[in-house]
Amino acid sequence: MIFDIEVNNKIIKAKRGETILSALNRNGIKVPTLCYMEELAPSGACRICVVEVEGQQDLVPSCAQPVEEWMKIKTHSPRVIKARKTIVELLLSNHPDDCLYCERNGNCELQKLSIELNVLERRIIGQKGKQKADRSGSCMVRDPKKCILCGRCVRVCEEIIGVTAIDFIKRGNHCEITPSFRKGINLSSCINCGQCIMSCPTAALYERDHLPEIIDSLNNPEKHVVIQYSPAISVTLAEEFGVKAGKDINGMLNAALRKIGFNKVFDSSFGADINTIEVANELVNRIKSGQNLPMFSSCCPAWVKYVEQTHPDLIGNLASAKSPQQIMGTLMKGYLAECINIPSENIYTVSVMPCIAKKFEAQREEMTHKGITEVDAVLTTRELARLIRLYGIDIMNIESELADTVLGTRSSSGKLYAVSGGVAEAIIRTSYNLLTGGDLINYKITELRSVNKNKKEFKIKITDLDLGIAVVSDMINAEKLLDEIKNGRKDIHFIEVMACPGGCVNGGGQPIPSRKEEIKARIKAIYDVDDKESIKFAHKNPQLNELYKILFGKPCDENCMNILHTSFNKRDVLL
Partner 1 sequence: MESNIQFLKEKVLLNETLSFSKEDEERIKILKLEKTIKPIIFVGASSCGYVAGVQKTMDTIKQYLTEKQISAEIIKVGCIGLCALEPIMDVQLPGMTRVSFKYMNAENVAEVLDGVFNNTIESDHILGQYRQKNLQKWENVNFIDEIDYFAGQKRIVTEHNGIIDPEDIETFIAYGGYRAFIKTIYHYTSNDVCRIIEKSELRGRGGSGYPCGKKWKITHDNAADQHYLVCNANESDPGAFMEKSIIESNPHKLLEGMAIAAYAIGAGKAFIYIRADNKLAIERFKKAIDDAKAFGLLGENIFDSGFNLEFIIKKGPGAFVCGEETAMLNSIEGKRGMPRYRPPYPTERGLFGKPTVINNVETLCNVPAIIINGPVWFNSIGTTTSKGTKVFTLSGKIKMNGIIEVEMGTTFEDIIFKIGGNVKNNKQFKAIQLGGPAGICLVRENLNITIDYEELNKIGAIMGSGSIIVMDEETCIVDITKFYINFIQHESCGKCIPCREGTQRMLEILEKITKIPKDEASHQTLERFKGVMQLESIAEVIKDTSLCGLGKTAANTFLSSLKWFRDEYEEHIFDRKCKAGVCKELRAFFIDVDKCTGCNACMRKCPENAIIGTVKYPHFIVESKCTGCGICVETCKFSAIFIK
* CB-nearer residue toward partner 1: 59 or 255: 59
Residue 87, C-beta contacts closer than 8 angstroms, at least 6 positions apart: 46, 47, 48
- CA-nearest of 207, 154, 201 to 180 is 154
Q: Which of 13, 16, 170, 554 binds partner 1 (CB under 8 A)?
A: 170
- Containing 380, the helix (H) or strand (E) segment is strand 377-380
* CB-nearer residue toward partner 1: 3 or 343: 3
Do residues 450 and 502 make contact, with C-beta atoms less than 8 angstroms apart?
no
Residue 193, C-beta contacts closer than 8 angstroms, at least 6 positions apart: 161, 163, 302, 355, 356, 357, 499, 500, 507, 508
* CB-nearer residue toward partner 1: 76 or 223: 76
Residue 164 interacting with partner 1 (CB under 8 A): no
Task: Report the nearest approach of partner 1 to the CB of residue 57 (Å).
Answer: 9
Residue 186 to residue 572: CA distance in whole angstroms: 11
Residue 168 interacting with partner 1 (CB under 8 A): yes
Q: Which of 9, 127, 289, 397 binds partner 1 (CB under 8 A)?
A: 127
Residue 235 to residue 553: CA distance in whole angstroms: 34
- Containing 272, the helix (H) or strand (E) segment is helix 269-289
Buried/exposed code over 367-403 (b: 16+ C-beta within 10 A; e: otherwise): beeeeebbbbbbbbbbbbbebbeeeebebeebeebeb
* CB-nearer residue toward partner 1: 24 or 63: 63
Task: Report the nearest approach of partner 1 to the CB of residue 464 (Å).
Answer: 46
Residue 145 interacting with partner 1 (CB under 8 A): no
Residue 84, C-beta contacts closer than 8 angstroms, at least 6 positions apart: 32, 48, 50, 117
* CB-nearer residue toward partner 1: 83 or 563: 83
Task: Report the nearest approach of partner 1 to the CB of residue 238 (Å).
Answer: 35
Residues 73-112, one symbol each (x = binds partner 1 by CB under 8 A, - = not), give ------x--xx--xx--xx-xx------------------
Distance of CA 168 to the CA centre of its chain: 24
Residue 156 interacting with partner 1 (CB under 8 A): no
Residue 481 interacting with partner 1 (CB under 8 A): no
Q: Which stretch binds partner 1 (CB under 8 A): 21-29, 170-178, 334-342, 410-418?
A: 170-178
Task: Report the nearest approach of partner 1 to the CB of residue 239 (Å).
Answer: 30
Q: Which stretch binds partner 1 (CB under 8 A): 47-55, 109-117, 400-408, 417-425?
A: 47-55
Residue 45 interacting with partner 1 (CB under 8 A): yes
Residue 46 interacting with partner 1 (CB under 8 A): yes
Task: Report the nearest approach of partner 1 to the CB of residue 344 (Å).
Answer: 50
* CB-nearer residue toward partner 1: 17 or 371: 17
Site for partner 1 in 5-44 (CB under 8 A): 42-44
Buried/exposed code over 123-159 (b: 16+ C-beta within 10 A; e: otherwise): eeeeeebeeeebeebbbbbbbbbbbbbbbbbbbbbbe
Q: Which stretch binds partner 1 (CB under 8 A): 106-114, 148-156, 201-209, 529-537?
A: 148-156
Q: Which stretch binds partner 1 (CB under 8 A): 169-177, 256-264, 290-298, 533-541?
A: 169-177
Residues 57-76, one symbol each (x = binds partner 1 by CB under 8 A, - = not), give -xx-x--xxx----------
Task: Report the nearest approach of partner 1 to the CB of residue 38 (Å).
Answer: 16
Instruction: Give me the phi and psi of 137, to 5 degrees please.
Output: -75, 150
- Containing 61, the helix (H) or strand (E) segment is strand 60-61
User: Which amino acid, one-letter code, is at 9?
Assistant: N
Distance of CA 296 to the CA centre of its chain: 19
Residue 217 to residue 262: CA distance in whole angstroms: 10
* CB-nearer residue toward partner 1: 90 or 551: 90
Query: Coil, helix or strand for 30?
Result: coil
* CB-nearer residue toward partner 1: 151 or 511: 151
Do residues 471 and 495 make contact, with C-beta atoms less than 8 angstroms apart?
yes
Residue 148 interacting with partner 1 (CB under 8 A): yes
**How is 439-504 classified by DSSP, letter by letter?**
--SS---GGG--SS-SEEEEEEEETTEEEEEEEE-SHHHHHHHHHHHHTT--S--EEEE-SSTTSG
Write out the residues near partner 1 by the rule CB under 8 A: 42-48, 50, 58-59, 61, 64-66, 79, 82-83, 86-87, 90-91, 93-94, 123-127, 148-149, 151, 167-168, 170-173, 175
